[in-house]
Every structure is written in structure tokens, then in C-alpha cells.
Structure 1
Amino acid sequence: MNEVISSPLFGILISLLAFELGMFLYKKFKNPIFNPLLISITFIVGLLLIFHIDFQSYDQGGQLIAFFLGPATVILAVPLYKQLDLLKANALPIIVGILVGSIVGIISIVLISYFIGLDANIIKSLSPKSVTVPIGVEVSKQLGGISPITVVSIIITGILGAIMGPTICKTVKIKDKLSIGVSLGTASHAVGTTKALELGEVEGAMSSLSIGIAGLFTVFLAPLIVKILNSILHFY
């Protein structure tokens, strides 16, 4: 049994089964709360805890899956290419929207974290929560944050964005496909983009574009905004 668990195939198999379970539940109930990623995480964590399986054993297969995240992300350029004319016609509002969204995302999490009394290192770790993991971790390190906390915050942000984003857009009566895509990609990175792709090709294209641009803005803006807010609030 130990040989099976220590094999990379174990982590791969468990991950695939967990995601398939999540997809099955999502398609069956059609409820955003049954987000496949959320179901997968819950299932895997529960399995590891119940059977006392060491995370390092599972992660041998998990790392192989993570290796393919890069190529999978590149595929998001396909719907963007198909909507290239739309992008050219709306370049300025798209860029401004992503810029404003990135700034608001950083400022809001820093202020909320400060006013509820979180430690300075936690605040630094949470500031890049709305970008993809590789970018967020590097920004967190640059600020002196804690990388594992950054990773968790990015995952939670993505899941919440995918679950709540479309509902919020409907509630405030945002119907423009371009706006919905930009908001999902800027606020909840790749996980939000998977939801945007479900909504339509335009939403998916704009969301995938927003991931990269929001990440670029965050690299430059997060250290500057955190520094400015710290000069005012003195949280470290």
C-alpha cells in the first residue's frame, strides 16, 4: 500500500478523480457553489486527513500536474486571437478597466486586512491575491510576505470570483460581455477565466487577456501601493 501511495501516479489519479467528481456535481446541480476546483480541494484534503496520507506523497503526482499549468494557460490565447478585432476596437477601456481593477483589488485587501487587525506579514502576503500563483508568489516574496499564505489566498480568491462574479454582474445589471470578461479575469485570474469561458467566447477572451495584464500591473503597483499605505497607516 505504501508503494502505491508513494507513486506519482497516486497523486495524478486522485487529482483527476477529484476533479471529475467536481465536474459531475457541477453539471448535475448547476449551482456555482459546486465549483469543480472547490470540490476537488475539499475531496483531496479530506482524503489525505482521513487516511493519514502524507502530503509530500500526494504531491509527487501533484507536481506533474502543475507542470502542465503553463501550457494550459497558453491555450487561453486561442479565444483571445479569435476576438482580436474586438480587442483593438476597445483597447483603451480594457486597459483602463484592468488597471483600475488591479489598484482597487490591492488597496481594498490591504485596508480590510489592516482594519481587522491582521499582522503586517499577512497583509503583504494577501496583497497580490488576484493574480496567478507564479506572479503572486514572486510579488509576495518581494514584499516580504509568506508564500504559502499567498497561494491559499489566490486559490480562495479565484474560487470566490468564479462562484460570485456572474451573480454580482447580474445583480448590478452588467450585461456587456467585454466588461464581464475583464472583471472576472482581473479579480479572479485563471479560475475566474474558466467561468468566463463558460459564459461565452468574448467573456473568455477578455478574461484571459486580463490575467496577463493584471499580473503585470500588480508586479509594479503592489510594492508601491503597500509602501504608500504603510506610510499612512504604519502597519509595519
Structure 2
Amino acid sequence: MLALIVSHPLFGLLVTLVGYQLAMELNQRTRTLLTQPVLVATLIVVSLLLLFDVDFETYYASADIIWLFLGPATVALAVPLYTHLKRIQDYFWPLLVALLVGGFATVLLTLGFAWLLGAGPELLASLAPKSVTSPIAILLAEDLGGSPALAAVFVMITGVAGAVMAPWLLEKAGIHLPAARGFTLGLNAHAAGTALALEEGEETGAFAALAMSLTGAVTAILLPLIYGLTYPG
């Protein structure tokens, strides 16, 4: 019976949906940093795969319908962007400065610390695009000579860590403006941060979606140049 369930073509989809629903319930009941839905859902899914002895390829093949909806879900982020277009225009220059400074600082600090700690060329190339969404990060890592698999892991860690820590840090810093909170979440935690921002409100989500989109585009263009200038090897 168990073998039939595991081999079902929708097993991965079921595990993912159940894991995320349980994570959402736990987060709503506790409202703590450590119960961030993406983090908890990931732990649940990994635990179930290990329990049922399911390899990643099998899980991926049975959950591929989720990736089918990623495109439409990303395009749908244009709706809050359009709704709050006037607010975005009002903050254009501060947002542009924040994007460039934050983007450059993230890449330079990441590469600098990793190099000082002895990271090799492949690891550096895999770390460099960690602050953008997975599809862009994987392609960039491959172009720079890194590992696409490692890049995907670093992107996930960055998104989850950002979604967990950013709200607490923003509260401690006294930042309550939806535009600032949303842009910070999207810039530092990409998709996970944008999902969290949408929970706070439509305006917060709009600025998070803007930050995630612009960060991906700017990084794809400038990262190869920055990486070439930064990495001494």
C-alpha cells in the first residue's frame, strides 16, 4: 500500500501541499519567527521524503505541476504593481538608490567574506547570485562556472533566512512604511519575502514584487561584471 502511494504520479504534489498547509496552520497559531511557513514546509517535505525513502528526482517528477503555475503566479504580481503605480513613481529615486546600493553590497560582501574564508571558484560562483530568484540564479551560476544545484540551495537559504529575520529587524528599526518594508523584503528575500509581504498588505506586496523583479534584472546584467572584478582568481 505504501509503495503504491509513493509511486503515485501526484505524490510529490500532495506532500508539498500538505506540508505547506501544516506550516501555515502552525505559523498562524504561534506567530513566531521560527515557524515561517516556507522554512517549516521545507522541513516537513524533506522529513517525509526521508521517511518514505523517496529520492529527489521522483519527488520532482510528481510535483512538476507546481512549477507549471510559477509562471502565471509571477505574472500575476503585475496586478498589485499596476494598482500602486503612482506610489512607485513617487518613490522612484529612493528605490533606485536602495536597489543599487543593496544589490552591490550584497554581492560584494558575500564574495568578500567567502573568499577570505577560503572558498574556491566554484563555490564563489554559486554564492554570487544567491539574492535573486532560482531560475535566474541557476543560469547565472552556470555562466560564472558555479554549480546550479548549489546556487538553488543558497537561494532557498537566503529566501527563508530573509523571510524569518527581516520582519523582526524591520520592527526593531522602527520601519513601518509599507513601501520600505515591501522593498526590503523583496530585495533581500526574493520570492519568500514577496509572499510574506503580500500577507502584510497589497501595497507592501507590490513593492516587494518590484524589488524582486528589478533585483533579478539588474543582477543578471551586472553580476558577471562585478564577479569578474571582485574575484581575484
Same fold (TM over 0.5): yes
**Structure 2 unaligned regions, length at least 5:** none
Q: Which residues of 2 match residues 41-52 of structure 1 at below 5 A?
A: 41-52=42-53
Tell me which amino acid in the other structure corresponds to 1:137: I
Work out the number of aligned pairs and report it. Answer: 232
In the aligned structure 2, how far is the partner of 1:120 from the partner of 1:206?
34
Root-mean-square deviation (CA, aligned residues, Å) is: 1.3
Q: Answer with 171-180 or 100-109: which moved more.
A: 171-180
Matched, 1:124 2:137: no
Q: Answer with 156-165 or 88-97: which moved more.
A: 88-97
In the aligned structure 2, how far is the partner of 1:43 from the partner of 1:170?
28
Tell me which amino acid in the other structure corresponds to 2:186: G
What residue is the counterpart of 1:22 in the other structure?
23
SS in 2 for 1:52: coil
Matched, 1:140 2:120: no
In the aligned structure 1, how far is the partner of 2:129 from the partner of 2:34?
24
1:130 CA displacement? 0.7
In the aligned structure 1, how far is the partner of 2:36 from the partner of 2:20?
10
Cα deviation, 1:113-160, whole Å, max 9, x if unaligned, reads 112222221111011111111111111111111001100110111111
**Structure 1 unaligned regions, length at least 5:** none
Matched, 1:111 2:112: yes
Matched, 1:198 2:207: no
What residue is the counterpart of 1:40 in the other structure?
41
Cα deviation, 1:12-69, whole Å, max 9, x if unaligned, reads 1111100111001001101121111111111111112122222222222222211211
1:5 and 1:57 in contact (8 A); partners too: no
TM-score, normalization: structure 2? 0.95
What residue is the counterpart of 2:189 in the other structure?
188
Tell me which amino acid in the other structure corresponds to 2:196: K
Moved over 4 A (4+): none
What residue is the counterpart of 2:6 in the other structure?
5
Q: Answer with 55-64 or 77-86: which moved more.
A: 55-64
What residue is the counterpart of 1:55 in the other structure?
56
In the aligned structure 1, how far is the partner of 2:221 from the partner of 2:30?
41
TM-score, normalization: structure 1? 0.94
Q: Answer with 73-82 or 23-32: which moved more.
A: 73-82
What residue is the counterpart of 1:86 in the other structure?
87
Instruction: Choose between structure 1 and 2 for higher RCO, CA contacts under 8 A separated by at least 6 residues.
Output: 1
2:10 and 2:63 in contact (8 A); partners too: no
2:6 and 2:52 in contact (8 A); partners too: no
1:98 and 1:183 in contact (8 A); partners too: no
Q: Answer with 123-132 or 32-41: which moved more.
A: 32-41
